[in-house]
């Protein structure tokens, strides 16, 4: 899926801050510059987590934490921009809320 634009979109519905969802994997032979946006579609504040590393689901390694227990206000948006990630790395997301939308968009460049 190399190129630019939206790479993935998910709605986190479990409301389980300890269970990860694989958002995206950077393709082999590419690195990317990404923006990740969390939109809280509920009337209550939620906590979010984002991990970048080798893990794909469940509870990633503590050292892979990029955002940890970050609060997003009711109907609010939290965004991280300009995240440079190398080939094969996974972005895993979690939320304490039951209706949090996560989008990743950016551009990928070949390393060969």
Query: Which tens digits make up the pLDDT trace of 74-85?
Result: 999 999 999 999
- Superfamily the domain 4-110 falls into: Nucleoplasmin core domain (2.60.120.340)
What does the pLDDT average to over 39-66?
A: 91
First to last CA, the chain: 16
For the CA atoms of 20, 21, 23, 27, what is the dihedral angle to 10 degrees? 80
Q: What is the pLDDT of residue 1?
A: 54
Report residue 79 as tokens. 């965004």
Query: Which tens digits make up the pLDDT trace of 7-51?
Result: 999 999 877 787 889 999 999 999 999 999 999 999 999 999 999
* CA torsion through residues 69, 50, 92, 4, sign: positive
Each domain of the chain, given as residue ranges in start order, spans: 4-110
Alpha-carbon distance of 95 to 100, in angstroms, equals 7
Report residue 10 as tokens. 């998910």
In this model, does residue 58 exceed pLDDT 60? yes
Which residues on adjacent β-strands are paired with residue 22? 92
């Amino acid at each position: 899926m190399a190129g630019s634009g939206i790479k993935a979109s998910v709605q986190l519905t479990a409301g389980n801050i300890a269970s990860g969802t694989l958002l995206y994997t950077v393709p082999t032979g590419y690195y990317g510059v990404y923006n990740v946006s969390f939109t809280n579609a509920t009337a209550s504040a939620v906590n979010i987590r984002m991990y970048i590393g080798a893990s794909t689901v469940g509870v990633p390694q503590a050292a892979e934490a990029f955002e940890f227990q970050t609060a997003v206000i009711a109907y609010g948006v939290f965004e991280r921009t300009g995240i440079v990630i190398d080939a094969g790395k996974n972005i895993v997301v979690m939320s304490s809320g039951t209706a949090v939308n996560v989008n990743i968009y950016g551009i990928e460049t070949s390393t060969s």
